[in-house]
């Protein structure tokens, strides 16, 4: 049987496309004893609240009809945000040259987070340019990569 996140992504993709969006990511996670099914949408220029609401209503109905999830859960639909997590190779390709923050599993030179320009991605390894210096981070070191947003 397919994973719940995969099933949800498959159900949501045509609905999102019809409303001018794409599915950025889906997660099914347990937090503080409650299951959450989160659907993240993206669109050129950003996702509107109306798009999120429409996708939420329609995908919720599809999930109810298919009933792939045992027990209760909370279904949330939103944008991945400006500081979105990069996961797939296509995410890294799309944001090549952008500033990112890489969270490490273990500190490197006393830092668990490194911010720099994303200048390479190969087989899960991340290349950053930090203050003019190139820095390769092995995929075994990288816990998470997010777009960096200056406030």
DSSP-derived letter for residue 98 is S
11-40 pLDDT, tens digit per residue, is 999 999 999 999 999 999 999 999 999 999
Residue 10: helix, strand or coil by DSSP? helix
Sign of CA dihedral 112, 115, 116, 122: positive
CB 143 within 8 A of CB 81: no
Strand segments (E) across 5-131? 22-31, 34-42, 74-78, 99-108, 111-122, 125-130
Q: What is the pTM of this model?
A: 0.83
What is the residue-level pLDDT of the chain in tens, covering all 151 positions? 469 999 999 999 999 999 999 999 999 999 999 999 999 999 999 999 999 999 999 999 999 999 999 999 999 999 999 999 999 999 999 999 999 999 999 999 899 999 999 999 999 999 999 999 999 999 999 999 999 998 8
Q: What pLDDT is recorded for position 1?
A: 44
Q: In the structure encoding, which two tokens stand for residue 103, read together?
A: 């969270």
- 148 CB burial (10 A radius; 0-12, 13-18, 19+): middle
40 C-beta neighbours (distance < 10 Å), count:
22
């Amino acid at each position: 049987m397919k994973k719940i996140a995969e099933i949800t992504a498959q159900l949501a993709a045509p609905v999102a496309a019809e409303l001018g969006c794409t599915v950025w990511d889906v997660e099914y996670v347990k937090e503080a004893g409650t299951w959450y099914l989160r659907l993240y949408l993206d669109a050129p220029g950003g996702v509107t609240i109306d798009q999120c609401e429409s996708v939420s209503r329609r995908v919720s109905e599809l999930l109810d009809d298919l009933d792939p999830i045992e027990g209760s859960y909370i279904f949330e639909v939103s944008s991945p945000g400006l500081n979105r997590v990069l996961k797939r190779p296509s995410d890294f390709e799309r944001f090549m040259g952008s500033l990112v923050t890489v969270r490490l599993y273990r500190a490197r030179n006393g830092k668990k987070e490194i911010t720099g320009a994303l200048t390479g991605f190969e087989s899960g390894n991340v290349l950053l340019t930090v203050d003019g210096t190139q820095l390769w981070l092995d995929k075994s070191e990288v816990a998470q990569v997010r777009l960096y947003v200056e406030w």
